[in-house]
Structure 1
Amino acid sequence: MATTSSSEPNLQELASARAARSAQNAWSGILFGVGIVAFVDEAVFHQLLHWHHFYDLSTPDIGLVSDGIFHAISWFATIAGLFLFADLRRRGALWAKRWWGGVLVGAGAFQLYDGTVQHKLLGIHQIRYVPDLLTYDLVWNITAVVMLVAGAILLTITRRSAISSS
């Protein structure tokens, strides 16, 4: 990357680097978002509050093993997102607004998938085992939709910027 006399990249070079790595910025954020929200789900709702396991249709021991596998996979996603993030930083192509859009999309998509597919469609666990789940389901899924929409807006805005600057 050519630099100005102060050895800092100029705005045009920065915009060009960001546009060239637009997809990597989004995917880094998405992987990190999926991983981090899955980690929070597992740490808070599975371990600290003991509300459920990843898989509650068997014995508590199987539930505990399923939590461990879920935890490992969430960390793989988090670390993969951070490797992509580090590469973006090294190349001077990190686009914070696009990355945060990806984080919100990843977090919201995972949470919405969890709340609809795993909780309701497959029934492998519920948020909490109480007589009236409606409040828990609404808070869980509305929070997911808010994150997903906010992230989609950021990704759309930054995609338009990348297209217009290329």
Structure 2
Amino acid sequence: MEENVYPKRQSNGTTRSIYINRNLWSGILFGIGLVAFIDETVFHQLLHWHHFYDKSTKAIGLVSDGFFHAFSWFATVGGLFMVADFRRRNAWLPMRWVGGVLLGAGGFQFYDGTIQHKLMRLHQIRYNVQILPYDMVWHITSIIMIIIGIVLVIRSAKKIRQMGAAS
């Protein structure tokens, strides 16, 4: 992926660092929304394995899913609005953004699997089965996304430094 140049109306290094950081945060926001949307769609709606909140009635579980779905779409759309702004300003850094997406997705999935599943016990991935294989896949997938995200963010930072030194 080729990194774009910074905003055409750039006046100093502060402007540059603002857009570099915002690209990362936009990706993180989009990644959180994307993985939350996939979780809610696949595990909650299609497979019926659990609801966002399983400690009450099915009706409460469905309401909690609705709030979770709204959260995921607000995060996803918010991240994409930021990308549209970056593209308009010629400040979109695709590799950094994709790294942020993977960090957000992996971080949210790891949070969900550790805090919401194990610590708070809001729900499990699945019930009435041997849960260890499901937990392992959940956590390994999240860690892989986080590692790849970190690698992409580091690579993009190196490219950004090289581009700054060349100009």
- How high is the TM-score relative to the length of structure 2? 0.87
Shift of 1:130: 2.5
Report matched runs for 1:86-105 at 5 Å. 86-105=84-103
- Give the secondary-structure state (helix, strand or coil) at the position aligned to 1:15: coil
Q: Percent identity?
A: 56
- What's 1:115 paired with? 113
Shift of 1:131: 3.1
1:15 is matched by which residue type in structure 2?
V
Worse-matched range after superposition: 149-158 or 135-144: 149-158
* Residues 6 and 90 in structure 2, CA contact (< 8 A), matched pair in contact too: no
Over the residues paired in the alignment, what is the CA RMSD in angstroms? 1.7
Structure 1 moving runs of 4+ over 3 Å: 14-20, 163-166
* Residues 105 and 151 in structure 1, CA contact (< 8 A), matched pair in contact too: yes
Shift of 1:162: 2.5
Gaps in structure 2 of 5+ consecutive residues: 8-14
> Number of matched residues?
154
- What's 2:56 paired with? 58
Q: Encode CA deviations 1:90-113: one digit per residue, 9 max, x unaligned.
A: 011111111100100000000000
- Give the secondary-structure state (helix, strand or coil) at the position aligned to 2:52: coil
Q: Distance in 2 between matches of 1:15 and 1:43?
A: 37
Gaps in structure 1 of 5+ consecutive residues: 1-10
- How high is the TM-score relative to the length of structure 1? 0.87
- What's 2:10 paired with? none
* Residues 54 and 63 in structure 1, CA contact (< 8 A), matched pair in contact too: yes
- What's 2:151 paired with? 153
